[in-house]
Amino acid sequence: MSASTALGRGDLPDAWDSGDAAGIDPEHDRRVEELKPAGAGVAAFYDRAARGIAGAPDLAELKERHTRLLGRERGIVTGRLAGLPELSPEERRQSGRALNLIKRWLTELEAARRSALEREQESRSAQGLDVTLPGRKPWIGHRHVLAQIQEELLDLFHGLGYSVYVSPEVESDDYNFGKLNFPPDHPARDAHDTYWVDGGLLLRTHTSPGWVRAMEERQPPLRLVFPGRVFRAEQVDASHMDQFHQVDGLFVDRDVSMADLKATLNTFARSIYGRAVRTRLVPVYFPFVEPGAQLDVACVICDGSGRVRDARCPVCKGGGWIELLGAGMVHPNVFRAVGYDPEAVTGFAFGMGLERIAMMRWGIPEIRLFLENDLRFLNQF
């Protein structure tokens, strides 16, 4: 073999020798012998190249070694083949034969080694175990923001002597509307507002049916809170969902007054928005209370001024107040419906939406975020 096509063991790294070429090619020793007439260097080169292919530890390294030997641009064997035309016809015949044998055999070895490595990789992933991967930290979740605020509210009312009463999400018309003094033609009973279920049942539109159930089961005094999910046939947008969460409260005893209601609601508002928060009760109509009211708190964003940096406050829309919840003295007709004597007992009730309270407190602009399961949102709480 002439200078331009000469090959030797030294063209390749010593470390390649550790591969077991005979292990993947039973013909290995015979092939090395067959190359010896072309020169001892050529045979030694092939021996080391074949060991290098057989010993490639992974697919990436195999590709690297294959490129070094047979790559189109810089492969050693490829380069020597390209030099053949410069040789005399006799040299060209002998070197050409050896180089082409080397190319063919190394190509076979590479294919054999590659499929062996691929099989190993498949069986590792089939067992689901790759001990070389870094460990994964166990993933610890936390309670949803609404569950957190519900817990906080129940805790607060527990401190005021209230117990929790849980009632069904599927209700009868009678419990959801009739016994709560809704007139038969009240618009809330319309199919546009309420999800009706077969058999005259419906998905409760508020947690207030719980009052009726509790009062039918128990005698006064009662001091209860009613947490749960409620449903309305709403067009979903940034501030309306077709399901949300409420907490109702009910206090029934002798001589319960509006002053008791006011004190309870102020305690609640201060615990949520801080001691300094200002509140007001505004008369509002609800069928199940008389008189009915809504509790407003001074806007926490503009401190009740209605203006932020010389512009209208976006949260209270310039009004300076935010509606927090509905409340009132329990209507005598509700007491009559559950068998209480409205001359003997009085009571107050209130109801609030958890989403609304959370949105006000943290400035959350979009009610749909609560149900979207987007961790970028949930992880903030």
Take residue 124 and report the two structure tokens written for it.
Answer: 């590792």
DSSP-assigned states of every residue in 215-271: HHH--S-EEEEEEEEEE--PPPBTTB-SEEEEEEEEEEETT--HHHHHHHHHHHHHH
Q: In this structure, which long-range contacts are made by residues 305-312, counting pairs with CB atoms below 8 Å and at least 24 apart in sequence?
A: none
Comparison of 225 and 299: residue with beta carbon closer to Zn ion: 299
CB of 357 to Zn ion, least distance (A): 16
Length of the chain: 381
Give me the residue label for tokens 């309670």: 143
Task: Identify residues 331-370 at the interface with Zn ion (CB under 5 A).
Answer: none
Closest to Zn ion by CB, 93 or 307: 307
In the complex with Zn ion, the residue whose CB is nearer, 272 or 299, is 299
**Considering only 105-113, 144-152, 252-260, 295-303, which stretch makes contact with Zn ion by CB under 5 A?**
295-303
Q: Within its chain, how far is the Cα of 378 from the centroid?
A: 8
For residue 341 the two structure tokens come to 């004597």
Contact segment (CB under 5 A) with Zn ion among 6-14, 209-217, 314-322, 334-342 equals 314-322
Which of 353, 338, 168 lies closest to 252 in space, CA to CA? 338
The least CB distance from residue 360 to Zn ion, in Å, is: 10
- Nearest approach in angstroms of CB 267 to Zn ion is 23
Compute the least distance from the CB of residue 319 to Zn ion, in Å.
7
Question: Quick one: which segment of 108-116, 191-199, 312-320, 331-339 binds Zn ion (CB under 5 A)?
Answer: 312-320
Which residues is 326 bridged to in the sheet? 294, 351
Listed ranges 93-101, 124-132, 244-252, 294-302: which one lies at the site for Zn ion (CB under 5 A): 294-302
* Binding map of Zn ion across residues 95-114, x = CB under 5 A, - = no contact: --------------------
Q: Applying CB under 5 A, which of residues 302, 324, 330, 358 lies at the interface with Zn ion?
A: 302
Distance between alpha carbon 277 and the CA centroid of its chain, in Å? Answer: 35
Q: How far is the CB of 152 from Zn ion (least distance, A)?
A: 23
Instruction: For residue 316, state whether it binds Zn ion (rule: CB under 5 A).
Output: yes
Please say which residue, 315 or 378, places its beta carbon nearer to Zn ion: 315
299 makes contact with Zn ion (CB under 5 A): yes
In the list 301, 338, 371, 378, the residue contacting Zn ion (rule: CB under 5 A) is 301
- Which pairs with CB-CB distance under 8 Å and at least 24 residues apart come from 267-275? 267/156, 267/160, 268/153, 268/156, 268/157, 269/295, 269/297, 269/324, 271/156, 272/357, 272/361, 273/297, 273/300, 273/361
Residue (316 or 352) nearer to Zn ion, CB: 316
Instruction: Spell out a b/e string for 134-167, using b for 16 or more CB atoms within 10 Å of the CB, else e.
Output: eeeeeeeeeeebbeebbeebbeebeeeebeebeb
**Amino acid type, 17:** D
Residue the block writes with tokens 């810089």:
74
> Phi first, then psi: what are they for 67, rounded to 5°?
-65, -40
Taking CB under 5 A as the rule, does residue 329 contact Zn ion? no
Please identify, among the stretches 9-17, 212-220, 301-309, 349-357, the one whose residues bind Zn ion according to the rule CB under 5 A: 301-309
Point out which span in 23-31, 167-175, 199-207, 292-300 binds Zn ion (CB under 5 A). Answer: 292-300
Residue of 77, 261, 297, 313 that binds Zn ion (CB under 5 A) = 313
Is residue 62 a contact partner of residue 56, using CB atoms and an 8 Å limit?
yes
Q: What is the closest distance, in whole angstroms, from the C-beta atom of residue 148 to Zn ion in the complex?
A: 25
Q: How far is the CB of 308 from Zn ion (least distance, A)?
A: 7
User: How far, in Å, CA of 226 to CA of 234, rounded?
Assistant: 22
Pick 230 or 299: Cβ nearer Zn ion? 299
Collapsing DSSP to helix, strand or coil, 275 comes out as: coil
**At its nearest, how many Å lie between Zn ion and the CB of residue 296?**
12
**Closest approach of Zn ion to the CB of residue 241, in Å:** 23
Smallest gap from Cβ 306 to Zn ion, in A, equals 6
Binding site for Zn ion (CB under 5 A): 299, 301-302, 313, 315-316
